[in-house]
Amino acid sequence: MKSSIATVSISGTLPEKLQAAAAAGFQGVEIFENDLTQFNGSAADIRAIAKDLNLEIIALQPFRDFEAMPEPFRSQNFYRARKKFELMHELGTRKLLICSNVSPHLINDKNRAAADLYELADIARQEGFDIGYEALAWGRYTADYGDAWDIVKQADHPNLGIILDSFHMFARGNTLDILRDEIPLDKITLVQVADAPALQMEVLHYSRHYRCFPGQGDLPVKEFVQCLRDKGYNDYLSHEIFNDEFRSSPAAEKAIDGIRSLIWLDEQTSKHADSDVDEGVTGVEFIEFALPENSDSNLLELLNAMGFSETHTHRSKNVTLMQQGDINLVLNREPSSQAHEHFETHGTSVCALAMKTHNLKRSFDRAKQYHCPSFMNQAGPGELNIPAIKAIGDSLIYLLDDQSKVRFYDVDFKPLTDQPDSGIGLKAIDHIGQTVAHTDFLSAAFFYKSLLEFDITPNQDLPDVYGLVVSRLAMSKNKKVRIPLNMTSTSHASARRFLDKTKGSGVQQIAFSCDDIFTAAAAIGSQFQLPIPDNYYLDLDARFALEPELLARMKQHNIMYDRNEQGEFFHCYTREANGVFFEILQREGDYQQYGEPNAHIRLAAQSRLYKETEQ
Ligand code: MG
């Protein structure tokens, strides 16, 4: 199918929007008329710009409150329509989108609506144009696409068809039955696709603020496109997204998200789609930190407190490796490297994640398919010679073959001869929390969902002392790689402090698993731990009636607790180093959660510590 985007979906002036759409690879655009009216130039100028960019202007939209009006509005509407047809000639587009009427003057008469649309379609025919009729979910008498179809069917004019918009259909709870069983392909003038999170609210507000690209929300847009595909539809799918965050983000970035969404829809609905792919990401091989060249940092103190020490050194670069259990942490202090650039902008921080994949070629093919820059065999001085793709913020994801018998450190690193056995029993990376700007939240989750084929959970609210942190989990198919994504719209919550400190999205939290959290916590020591208030343990006792001795030990070591039918969960946190903090956790039984009931305690404790130490 062909790709299009309505100019209302992205930010900027109309020429900026067209340039962003073309750069992302869209083949067509719908011109949202307000964008054109605001433009300080002619429709012919826009036609020329689009032509230069190789973009087809597939429609002008929207034309409102047309059908079934009494005089004098009816005559005025036909005059207005003729003016828009003149504009369409200048713009070089053949389709006009008509939204169902919301006017208080509207006459509730389908016959009149059909007759007016027939008359307009006949004028359109003489001009060489088509008109499409779309049911707005808040249309006064035509709100369901089935009702719009009844009117189009009754009018029965070859230059009149229906506009299908997935948002309006699903916001009204419409099924796909009428599309599947009744609407012929040649009566579909245009298909608009939009998704949205599952929310209950007044539908006009829902539409104007919460739409998002298909795959980013919860509506069954995939099933909608599958239905069209099964019917043989092979024309444009056009994004029509009204979203506050999209309009406050760079147009180029959102346009890339938009094209990724259409690629994903195509993939998900193609005959070859295989939803049980077992070939994606299977584990985290290492986490790479960017550090200053010649100085220690708070991060090193924290890592040392957790029993990490340098076990390997790079053969030629200022790069070292810390190993404990199955955990590999790479510390990159090499000048003139990607890591150093990352450090210059963000300070001491995680600059890359290395993930193991079951099919390396397929992973890179997917990155290319989804317009994601990759770095193959282009390692500059100081960079690990491992191919990578551009990931969240300024970070990279290295991809390694999980079938390889050679580990990354076998080639590039040599073990230090004098290795102290200083681990504290940490076993593996349990999860890696990334914090992103609220404008990048949908985009980040969709990056993992589309490129890396992770599953994404719905949003979860975590109350912070100074606002709300919203979280959702991205998880690999084999459940071994778990990346909670966090954001806040408020100005002082934990996620915002991190973004301010590190100047951009990145890894804020790393959780390590162990088998004996009491030993690990004792080894870390209270000076590096996040202190938990006594009140928490009083409440814990009230909730779970734990053994007094166990409760006392938890309190002594700032360990928090959760339990469900699947098992138990013990966890504690370190203090922060340049906004980054660590979690030590112990899972018992089949507990798969993250101690969410304790998140507000942790967030409050972090705020308190921040106030004490940094303000
Ligand atoms: Mg629409």
Residue 123: burial class (beta carbons within 10 Å; 0-12, 13-18, 19+): middle
Cα separation, 85 vs 91, whole angstroms: 10
User: Which residues sit opposite 463 in a β-bridge?
Assistant: 468
H or E stretch at 189 = strand 188-193
Cα 61 to middle of ligand 1, angstroms: 9
Cα 178 to middle of ligand 1, angstroms: 18
Using an 8 Å Cβ cutoff, are 587 and 569 in contact? yes
Cα 168 to middle of ligand 1, angstroms: 7
Average the pLDDT over each of 7-16, 218-227, 338-347 and give the range with the smallest value: 338-347
Task: Report CA torsion sign: 304, 308, 309, 310.
Answer: negative
Cα 71 to middle of ligand 1, angstroms: 27
Cα 165 to middle of ligand 1, angstroms: 5
User: Among the ranges 90-99, 201-210, 305-314, which has the highest mean pLDDT value?
Assistant: 90-99
Cα 164 to middle of ligand 1, angstroms: 7
For 519, the token pair is: 């030993």
- Mean pLDDT on 141-146: 97
Check whether domain 2-269 has CATH 3.20.20.150, yes or no: yes
Nearest alpha-carbon partner for 483 in 538, 425, 431 = 431
Cα 328 to middle of ligand 1, angstroms: 49
Cα 240 to middle of ligand 1, angstroms: 6
Cα 454 to middle of ligand 1, angstroms: 30
Nearest alpha-carbon partner for 129 in 90, 165, 174, 176 = 90
Cα 192 to middle of ligand 1, angstroms: 6
DSSP E strands in 349-466: the ranges are 349-357, 374-375, 388-390, 396-401, 413-415, 426-435, 455-456, 460-464
Cα 485 to middle of ligand 1, angstroms: 30
Using an 8 Å Cβ cutoff, are 5 and 239 in contact? yes
Cα 67 to middle of ligand 1, angstroms: 17
Cα 105 to middle of ligand 1, angstroms: 22
Q: At what angle do helices 14-24 and 43-52 cross, to 10 degrees?
A: 20
Q: Which residues contact 239 (CB under 8 A, 6 or more apart)?
A: 4, 5, 6, 9, 192, 193, 194, 213, 214, 258, 261, 262
Q: What is the pLDDT of residue 380?
A: 57
Task: Report CA torsion sign: 112, 117, 120, 122.
Answer: negative
Average the pLDDT over each of 191-205, 342-356, 491-505, 552-566 and give the range with the smallest value: 491-505
Chain segment 221-234, per-residue pLDDT in tens = 999 999 999 999 99
pLDDT exceeds cutoff 90 at 614: no
Cα 218 to middle of ligand 1, angstroms: 18
- Is there a shared CATH topology between the 2-269 domain and the 429-614 domain? no
Burial state string for 417-451 with b = 16 or more CB within 10 A and e = fewer than 16: eeeeeebbbbbebbbbbbbbbbbbbbbbbbbbbbb
Cα 129 to middle of ligand 1, angstroms: 19
Cα 608 to middle of ligand 1, angstroms: 47
pTM: 0.91
Cα separation, 46 vs 69, whole angstroms: 32
Q: Domain spans of the chain?
A: 2-269, 278-415, 429-614
Cα 424 to middle of ligand 1, angstroms: 58
Q: What is the pLDDT of residue 13?
A: 96
Q: pLDDT-based confidence at 420, cuts 50/70/90?
A: low
Q: What is the pLDDT of residue 296?
A: 66
| 554 DSSP 8-state letter | H
Cα 238 to middle of ligand 1, angstroms: 9
Cα 446 to middle of ligand 1, angstroms: 23
Cα separation, 365 vs 608, whole angstroms: 46
Nearest alpha-carbon partner for 325 in 307, 343, 347, 340 = 307
Q: Which residues contact 551 (CB under 8 A, 6 or more apart)?
A: 537, 540, 541
Q: In CATH, what number does 278-415 get?
A: 3.10.180.10
Cα 53 to middle of ligand 1, angstroms: 24
Q: In CATH, what number does 429-614 get?
A: 3.10.180.10
Query: Can you tell me whether residue 104 is helix, strand or coil?
Result: coil
